[in-house]
Chains A and B, each alone.
Chain A
Amino acid sequence: MDMKVAKKLGLKERYSLMTRDLAWDTTYQPMDKVFPQTTYEGIKIHDWDKWEDPFRLTMDAYWKYQSEKERKLYAILDGFNQNNGHLSVTDARYINVLKLFLGSTPPLELMAARGFSMMGRQMNGAGPRVACQMQAVDEYRHFQTQIHSISNYNKYYNGMDEFAHQQSRMWYLSDGKSFFDDAITAGPFEFMVAIGFAFEYVLTNILFVPFISGAAYNGDMAAMTVGFSAQSDEARHMTLGLECIKFMLEQDPDNLPIVQRWIDKWTWRGTRKLASVGMMMDYMLPKRIMSFKEAWEMYVEENGGALFKDLARYGITIPKCFSQTIEEKEHVSHQSWIGFYMKPQATPFHTWIPTPDEMDWLSEKYPNTFDKYYRPVLEFFDAQEKAGNRFDNKTAPMNCQVCVSTMKFNEPGDPMEMCFRESIYKGEKFHTCSDHCKEIFDNEPEKYSQTFISSHQVLQGNCEPDGTDVNAPDFKPGQNMLDYWKLDKRALGDFNGSEDQKNFAAWREQATKN
């Protein structure tokens, strides 16, 4: 009898047998028909086998570890909910962080799930294909656990109940939607740079780590658990994004300028997307762990800097926008918060003027900008509010044609001057918020002229509740925006005097008395 002893396989060899050795080159159908998307972007790949697998999890190990994580996570969620954990957060203002998060993040995780499924179908190489599939299924995990963790808050607080309906309709969620729509409609390699690299590697830390730490610091065990648990998957996702960049650069020198252009573009698009994270850290967390500026320095300047230094051996240079993002780190969180404060009738979360203590904290953290530019504005609004003259900007915003942010950022080097740029395409004028967005537009005007800008669409009668007759003689566009958004009036406007504020106080009171 044949009694040869099975050779002990190392991790790499074993993983290779369990993935790429399963693959073969098709012959009944040509390979370029089976994988039709990986050539049209101009990226040249000569040998898919040169792909280095980042993490090497076979499915049995994946199920083993992921099921352990899920078991823990749902046990903590159940306990938190059963014990009215929502009443243990620092103060009810914190809950507005969750409203912003629920509206903006799970819908994007969902797009990541669908996008990585597409990559997991379209990549020719077996190595990247499996890694993308694993990221896709992880992304299902993320949007679902996020929804599950916030579901219980929705039962007690206003503004979370219509996130699914609002994801494609709310003006301020349009920037995130355009980010992912842009990536998923690009080719597979650009998607990998956009999401796998720029989003996951360069920017995800600043989105999640301060959010999670902040949630923990403010007593939200549910969000903390979900956030941490998701991050443990992110580590895998980050290595995939980085590996993909290195792979493209190693395969052919002609790939360099294409990859560089994508890195420039997506680092900037991601930076714009993060302005609202800044305001969450600086204004919305009742207890703060660090300022957005400090987080930016730690996770983007230092860490991103290390990354770009590492990639210099392939000829990659630091993204052109990097110096502007460094200048803007002292401004964007204030500009965003003020921007939202000025629109009290148009968001499902509350805003407020920071307390004097909080303003002092901002002065300390932003010595160059806060007292000079932003404290006077906030104090003016505060005085107006107290005098019964709360500022309310009822006009539709002007948006950037590329990042879809409202126009609110300043001219580089001049914080007192708003920045506007414009391009002409097919005789029509398009507005952008910055040099970098303008450059993105000018590179692909055909694509960006399509952007769905809700303030334009409203005027064309495209943002009306179902059943509205836009041809009726008395039709006035934009009269029914609250219905179109399904925006609960209780969720609007100031935190002070809101139902959330009253309920939270009353429920906490109940806990301390008989």
Chain B
Amino acid sequence: MAIDLRTVSITPLRQTFGHLARRMGADKPASRYIEATMDLQPVENYHYRPTWEPQYDIFDTTRTAIKMKDWYALKDPRQYYYGAWTLARGRMQEVAEGDFDLVDELGLAAAYPAEGKAQALKTFLPLRHVAWASNLNKAYVSSYGYGIAISQATCYASMDQLGVAQYVTRLGIAFDDLDALATAKKDWLEGAEWQELRRYVEDLMVEKDWFEVLVAQDFALEGLLYPLIYERYNEKLNAAYSPVFSMLTRFQREWFGETTKWLDAVIKATGADNADNKAKLAEWIKKWRDRAVVALKPVAALAFGAEADAIMAELVQNLNARAAKAGIAL
């Protein structure tokens, strides 16, 4: 006997899980993001203390100076659970793939003026190592952060940065085969222009407060680096040569625009929780912003020569404005 189950209209016993109904204050359907995120990390009755850091519990709120009444206030306005994130990145990679294919088919990279190529590679290619460091530092935040809201968003961001490092690498190969990568790595390790930046990301690799790492890496450094390279420098290369550089860095530009919304929401919610957080965030932003300016100035000089200082000053203004908009007075 065939049964047509679609015709059955039944009243559910409940609309959602108990922990979500309590959080939402009502038994109503929850989004897939909410179901995949809220109140899922264990908070009690741990069996053992970590042998690697016995002073802490497995998940421990005291791993940062930030205090939150509710760690799930750090939610993601993009509502990225794994499925939503990977679908968004799937679309972005499809576009990027199309761009790389087109550039390859039409020989656009080979036809790119040699001078432009040399300039672009010198300023741009060592950034594959910066993205790699970003991947590692975000992995730290994701590992030791408290609550699934922050751990999952930073896990996705960490993988995004691995993707960025790989897209930068591909641009290098497209422009100048493998030699370019070796030269860029040498510059990264030894070139005077890159040492302050390398020191910056290496220092973050030993910073213990995960929230400070988030502020320093994502807000301060990337908040200056991405506009510098993927907006300003991109515009300069486009105007001087052709939009090929722009095509091959589209992923990063789109990523930064989108990720900024998430990060600013996290900063805002953290500051809104209490005055101490606000003060702490302001202190960290100032400290790491100033260091990031020092780290990026030589790179800006490579990209813009004499105009570098003015451009950096403008970018710092924009970053300060972002902080102010998130409720953090510097």
Mark A residues whose CB is within 8 Å of B.
1-4, 6-7, 9, 17-18, 21-24, 26-29, 33-34, 36-37, 40, 58-60, 62-64, 66-68, 70-71, 73-74, 82-85, 87-88, 106-107, 110-111, 113-114, 117-118, 120-121, 129-130, 133-134, 136-137, 140-141, 143-145, 147-148, 151, 154-158, 160-165, 167-169, 177-178, 181-182, 184-187, 404, 447-448, 450-452, 454, 457, 486, 503, 507-508, 510-512
Contact = CB atoms under 8 A, between A and B. Distances in A.
13 contacts: A7-B178, A17-B181, A22-B128, A28-B202, A37-B52, A121-B143, A133-B158, A137-B156, A158-B13, A169-B45, A451-B48, A454-B45, A510-B10
Interface string B103-130: 0000000100010000000000000110
Given A82-B6, A140-B82, A118 B17 contact: no
Given A28-B203, A58-B166, A63-B92, 19 more contacts: A17-B169, A18-B166, A22-B131, A24-B129, A26-B205, A84-B6, A87-B3, A87-B8, A121-B139, A137-B159, A140-B82, A141-B86, A143-B36, A144-B36, A162-B19, A185-B49, A457-B45, A503-B13, A511-B3
A168 B155 contact: no
Q: Interface of chain A, helix or strand or loop or mixed?
A: helix
Given A107-B42, A133-B139, A162-B17, A113 B155 contact: yes
A64 B94 contact: yes
A185 B59 CA distance: 11
Nearest to B118: A2
A70 B51 CA distance: 37
B221 to A, nearest CB: 15
A29 B205 contact: yes
Which interface class (under 10, 10 to 19, 20 to 34, 35 or more) fits B? 35 or more
A136 B18 contact: no
B32 A508 contact: no
A444 to B, nearest CB: 9
Nearest to B198: A28
Given A70-B82, A155-B14, A182-B48, A84 B5 contact: yes
Interface in B59-118: 59, 81-83, 86-87, 89-94, 96-97, 110, 114
B55 interface: no
Contacts of A454: 45
A168 B44 contact: yes
Contacts of A143: 36, 40
B136 A121 contact: yes
B30 to A, nearest CB: 8
A43 B90 CA distance: 39
A29 B206 CA distance: 8
A453 B202 CA distance: 42
A91 to B, nearest CB: 14
B199 A28 contact: yes
Given A133-B158, A133-B162, A161-B18, A145 B6 contact: no
Contacts of B202: 26-29, 34
Given A147-B35, A187-B51, A22 B169 contact: yes
B163 to A, nearest CB: 4
In the complex, which of the residues A40, A137, A454, A511 has the most CB atoms of chain B within 10 Å of its own CB atom?
Answer: A137
Contacts of A164: 17-19, 39-40
Nearest to B158: A133
Nearest to B114: A1
A3 B107 CA distance: 10
B115 to A, nearest CB: 11
A450 B18 contact: no
A129 B140 CA distance: 12
Given A17-B169, A68-B90, A114-B143, A137 B3 contact: no
Contact of A63 (B7, B42, B93, B135): B93
A73 B87 CA distance: 12
Given A22-B129, A34-B202, A117-B139, A60 B10 contact: no
B41 interface: yes
Closest 9 CB pairs of A and B: A67-B90, A59-B163, A155-B12, A144-B36, A22-B132, A181-B47, A141-B82, A28-B202, A84-B5
Contact of A148 (B36, B173, B206): B36
Contacts of A83: 5-6
Contacts of B152: 140
A29 B199 CA distance: 8
Given A87-B8, A148-B35, A447-B51, A17 B163 contact: no
In the complex, which of the residues B5, B12, B198, B206 has the most CB atoms of chain A within 10 Å of its own CB atom?
Answer: B5
Contacts of A185: 47-52, 58
Interface in B146-171: 148, 151-152, 155-156, 158-160, 162-163, 165-167, 169
A199 to B, nearest CB: 17
Nearest to A22: B132
B327 to A, nearest CB: 29
